[in-house]
Amino acid sequence: MSFQFSKWTVLSAAVLLFGTVAMGQDTSSTGSSTQGTTTTAPAPKPTIAQRKENQQDRIANGVQSGQLTAGETSKLETKEAAINGETRADRAANGGKLTAAEKQQVNKQQNQLSKQIYTDKHNANTAQYGNNKVGQRRENQQDRIAQGIKSGQLTAGETAKLENQQKGINQQVKADRAANGGKLTAGEKKQVNKEQNAASKNIYNKKHNANTQQPKK
């Protein structure tokens, strides 16, 4: 009798111990599962400065790739310059800061500009430079402008003026070619080269003046 009591006591203790261990393992497993679950915090919204820099990078890439023509770039940079001017005025009126409503307005304008950049970069208009000397100079000027946009050496307003100058030269070349069966005369090439020399100096001066596009938050 004593032996039987002892046997069942040991068996009960064993069952109890097994159950405790099993519960402990389940709890541990559940705990590790909980610990392993990470909640990803939503990415913070880009600041005014970050959006401005992003738009300029996209424009610069479009200029360099030929996806944006000089005319398209001029219009985009004119819009960017207007947004920047409005932002400066708002900051000046509010001790250097933007109100929540002003930030919302700037963000709305940048959304519209973003769509315009995308549309212009994906339409049928492209800057085809060609393999001739006139085309090579044109491509070189565009590369220099694109580099100035990326580095911040050129403001949006300066870029708009430079691209407007390139647009004028391009239109003249197009008209001259149309009048001469697709070619330029020696005199026309000389004139275009002279105008590109003037544009080249203008690019250099604007890239090395005191105006820089260093965005503020």
Structure tokens at 8: 């069942």
Among the listed residues 174, 176, 165, the one whose alpha carbon sits nearest the alpha carbon of residue 70:
165
H-run or E-run covering 181: none
**Residue 9 CA from chain centroid, whole number:** 75
Per-residue pLDDT of the chain (217 residues; tens, 9 = 90+): 444 545 544 445 444 444 544 444 444 444 444 455 566 766 777 889 899 999 999 999 999 999 999 999 999 999 999 999 999 999 999 999 999 999 999 999 999 999 999 999 999 999 877 778 999 999 999 999 999 999 999 999 999 999 999 999 999 999 999 999 999 999 999 999 999 999 999 999 999 999 887 655 4
Q: Phi-psi bin for 96: left (phi > 0), alpha (psi -120 to 50), beta? A: left
* pTM, 2 dp: 0.76
Q: At what angle do helices 48-65 and 133-151 cross, to 10 degrees?
A: 170
pLDDT at 17: 46
Angle at 57 between CA 69 and CA 110, to 5 degrees: 90
Count, residues in the chain: 217
* Residues 43-75 pLDDT 10s: 777 889 899 999 999 999 999 999 999 999 999
pLDDT at 38: 64
